[in-house]
């Protein structure tokens, strides 16, 4: 005899729906939902079903019979919702066949709610409130549990919207990504536990857990090479992001991770932008991980350039484009990414928005991408100071040669773009060209100072000369000497050294640095030696500033 679990609304007297002579009926009365009206906004139907209903229908049966709606409000279609909970919960009746009954036509039910699509899945049937129709299904259909293939098909073809209490998919993506990243990194914190506990009873998250189950991950430790400071700016830092990223960077001893712990919810977009930019300037991080949407004003159909994250990125890059900023968001809309890239975004990490997941390894790939971007950013540790030096040099306008001022400003802009795109070799050669051009101009203009390749300078009744010194480690350089001067070809080393010695009155230690820079120029240009640090770039910018700030 077929055992039928008949789920009916509590306190509802319904006439017999099928022939009890042939079928064994086990009844379950769905509890009435009643609460103080003042608590209505806090009532959660998913929590109610998970904690009050599912434990009470752990009843052995062959088939489940229940109405499309189990409450006074038919539009709530709680019966359909209960069916989804059964399918997505580990339960004795998870895969049992279900017969839905309703006095509303199926075509009308389909128009009322997206949840009605479950009726067309394997193992589900629909009948009007008619004993003969129900008897027909019970007698003539093969009512067996759905198999794995049928369930996988059901999962692939099911679409559920986030809970209505979420202002947008932003919070859903945040919470989903937090839990997925936490699983990979083995993060166990109070915030993560609270988040999992809060979401485990929600139908939407049950669905996601079934559709995207955890997969084994080989590498849960991500060691980032280099040293520097990373700053997280995210409105939901306290929901678990701070703990997750702290764990991510915990395996990189030379990386300091910080979270900007501001309360974003009570602030307007402009106020958040102002406060955040001020804090970034104080902390001076090497990498900023920046969420795009930081306040309720950022949601809805608003352009990308009106979001708080966009405003922060724009202000920071205008202040100093040497700051590396990675956008941390669920958005993958091409036009948004292009707008952000246009104003200086250095990269993107996509939070694992359920609708954007393209493979099982999505979260792990996101973590690997974060490692890559972090290493790239900390390698550019000196870019902010180089930008400051460029601005200082460009603001020095005492040199009387207007052509040189224009030329050097233009070439410094080119050099900065090369620095910011990690082409330090070309940036070095560009800056060196500015220095060499200045020296060439002064050499040709002042042959009383630099005469016939022999350097002689008379000042204060004293004759100074430049003497060539060979340094086999760092290359040749020139020193101010009083003995017989060397004969020199008027090349870069001689011209730049002579200008610095005789026009700017620099001493021998300064001239030795010039020799090192000239030697490095030759190695970079001809031998392909790589510029890895900022020391030499900084020295060239200091020389350019010297040349622009003297009235010569």
Contacts of 539 by beta carbon, 8 Å cutoff, 6+ apart: 513, 517
Burial 114-138 (b: 16+ CB within 10 A, else e): ebbbbbebebbbbbeeeeebbbebb
Query: Using CA atoms, how far apart are residues 69 and 192, in angstroms rounded to an integer?
Result: 35
Checking if the pLDDT of 476 tops 80, the result is: no
> Which pLDDT does position 71 carry in this prediction?
83
Q: Please, which pLDDT band fits residue 193 given cuts at 50, 70 and 90?
A: confident
Provide the strand spans (E) within 318-470.
324-329, 347-350, 450-451, 454-459, 462-469
Domains of the chain: 2-156 (3.40.50), 169-377 (3.40.50.2300), 384-548 (no CATH)
At residue 14, does pLDDT exceed 50? no
Q: How far apart are CA 55 and CA 47, in angstroms?
A: 12
* Residue-level pLDDT at 44: 83
- Joined together, the tokens standing for residue 470 give 């060979």
Highest average pLDDT, of 319-323, 335-339, 348-352, 442-446, comes from 319-323
Q: How far apart are CA 239 and CA 487, in angstroms?
A: 72
Percent of the chain whose pLDDT exceeds 90: 48
State the pLDDT confidence band at 142, using cuts at 50, 70 and 90: confident
Given this model, what pLDDT does residue 250 score?
Answer: 95
Arithmetic mean of pLDDT, 163-180: 69
User: How high is the pLDDT of residue 40?
Assistant: 46
CA-based nearest residue to 448, from 440, 457, 460, 461 = 457
Q: For residues 173 and 161, what is the distance between their CA atoms, to the nearest angstrom?
A: 12
pLDDT computed for residue 139 by the predictor: 85
* Residue 552, pLDDT score: 64
- Contact by Cβ (8 Å): 217, 271: no
Tokens in use for 147?
């198999």
From 160-164, 267-271, 315-319, the region with the lowest mean pLDDT: 160-164
Whether 492 contacts 434, CB under 8 Å:
no
- Distance between CA atoms of residues 122 and 96, nearest Å: 10
Strand-pairing partners, residue 229, are 256
The most confident of 14-28, 241-255, 481-495, by mean pLDDT: 241-255
Q: What is the pLDDT of residues 400-440, one digit of tens each?
A: 788 999 999 999 999 999 998 889 999 999 999 999 999 88
Question: pLDDT-derived band of residue 195, with 50, 70 and 90 as boundaries?
Answer: confident
Lowest mean pLDDT among 40-49, 329-338, 393-402, 444-453: 444-453
- Closest among 328, 188, 170 to 244, alpha carbons compared: 188
Confidence of residue 551 (pLDDT cuts 50, 70, 90): low
* pLDDT at residue number 172: 72
């Amino acid at each position: 005899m077929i055992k039928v679990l008949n789920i009916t609304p509590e306190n509802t007297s319904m006439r017999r729906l099928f022939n009890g002579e042939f079928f064994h009926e086990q009844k379950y009365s769905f509890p009435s939902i009643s609460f103080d009206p003042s608590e209505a906004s806090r009532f959660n139907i998913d929590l109610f079903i998970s904690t009050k209903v599912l434990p009470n229908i752990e009843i052995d049966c062959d088939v489940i019979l229940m109405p499309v709606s189990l409450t006074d409000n038919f539009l709530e279609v709680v019966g359909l919702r209960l069916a989804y909970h059964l399918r997505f919960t580990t339960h004795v009746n998870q895969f049992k066949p279900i017969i839905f009954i309703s006095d509303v036509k199926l075509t009308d039910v389909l128009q009322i709610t997206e949840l009605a699509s479950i009726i067309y899945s394997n193992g589900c049937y629909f009948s009007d409130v008619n004993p003969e129709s129900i008897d027909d299904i019970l007698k003539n259909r093969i009512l067996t549990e759905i198999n794995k293939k049928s369930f996988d098909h059901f999962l692939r073809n099911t679409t559920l919207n986030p809970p209505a209490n979420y202002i947008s998919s932003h919070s859903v993506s945040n919470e989903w990504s937090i839990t997925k990243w936490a699983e990979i990194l083995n993060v166990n914190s109070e915030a993560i536990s609270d988040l999992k506990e809060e979401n485990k009873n929600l139908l939407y998250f049950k669905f996601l857990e079934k559709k995207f189950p955890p997969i084994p991950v080989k590498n849960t430790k991500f060691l980032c090479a280099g040293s520097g400071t990373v700053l997280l700016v995210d409105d939901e830092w306290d929901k678990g992001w701070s703990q997750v990223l702290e764990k991510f960077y915990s395996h990189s001893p030379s990386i300091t991770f910080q979270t900007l712990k501001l309360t974003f919810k009570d602030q307007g977009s402009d106020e958040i932008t102002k406060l955040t930019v001020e804090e970034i300037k104080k902390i001076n991080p090497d990498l900023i991980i920046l969420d795009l949407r930081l306040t309720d004003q950022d949601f809805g159909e608003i352009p990308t350039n009106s979001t708080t994250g966009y405003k922060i990125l724009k202000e920071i890059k205008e202040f100093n484009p040497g700051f590396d900023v990675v956008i941390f968001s669920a958005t993958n809309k091409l036009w948004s990414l292009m707008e952000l890239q246009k104003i200086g975004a250095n990269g993107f990490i996509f939070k694992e928005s359920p609708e954007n997941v393209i493979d099982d390894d999505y979260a792990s790939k996101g973590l690997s991408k974060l490692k890559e971007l972090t290493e790239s950013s900390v390698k550019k540790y000196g870019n902010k100071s180089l930008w400051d030096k460029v601005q200082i040099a460009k603001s020095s306008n005492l040199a009387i040669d207007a052509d040189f001022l224009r030329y050097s400003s233009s070439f410094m802009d080119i050099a900065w773009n090369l620095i910011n795109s990690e082409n330090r070799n070309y940036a070095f050669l560009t800056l060196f060209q500015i220095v060499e051009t200045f020296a060439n101009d002064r050499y040709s203009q002042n042959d009383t100072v630099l005469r016939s390749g022999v350097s002689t300078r008379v000042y204060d009744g004293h004759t100074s000369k430049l003497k060539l010194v060979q340094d086999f480690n760092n290359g040749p350089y020139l020193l101010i000497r009083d003995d017989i001067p060397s004969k020199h070809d008027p090349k870069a080393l001689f011209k730049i050294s002579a200008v610095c010695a005789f026009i700017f009155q620099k001493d021998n230690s300064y001239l030795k640095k010039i020799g090192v820079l000239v030697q490095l120029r030759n190695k970079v240009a001809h031998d392909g030696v790589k510029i890895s640090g900022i020391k030499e770039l900084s020295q060239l910018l200091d020389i350019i500033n010297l040349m622009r700030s003297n009235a010569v």
